[in-house]
Amino acid sequence: MAPRIVALIGGGQAAGKKSVCNAIVSRLQSWKVTDVKILSLDNFKKAKIPNNVNPEGPDTYDFVAVASAIKSETSDVLLVEGHYTLYEETLKRCGTIRIYIDLDADTRLSRRIIRDTTQRGLSLQEVLDNVNNGQNFV
């Protein structure tokens, strides 16, 4: 049985999608709703990506597998977060609620620099090169 509520949470890079998910889980748990799960698009990247495809673009995700995971999930509330959750038509049909996290580009850039240098081990130059090469900074 699929979840009763499926919230699709999308937004630009470093907009705070995971933070919003964690805040929702915390609030729901304070209301004694404990059967809540988070599903991240990051866990559904394709194993092989052709060289001509942006490694951060929508073609790198297996949306069929995401939709299947959503339909097979049994939790009461499922939060699906990721950059392209509101992009793919298959996923949009799975959602009962759609949330777009809108944050200005300057703030997202500073958050991305902090995240990618501290959590992902990239240098500042690597982060800026990724942004300048069009890797998902929309």
pLDDT along the chain (138 residues), means of 10: 87 92 97 96 89 80 95 96 93 95 90 89 87 64
CA–CA distance from 109 to each of 28, 54, 134 (Å)?
30, 19, 13
CATH code, residues 5-103: 3.40.50.300
CA–CA distance from 128 to each of 42, 114, 138 (Å)?
21, 12, 14
pTM more than 0.95: no
**What pLDDT does residue 134 have?**
65
3-state secondary structure of 130: helix
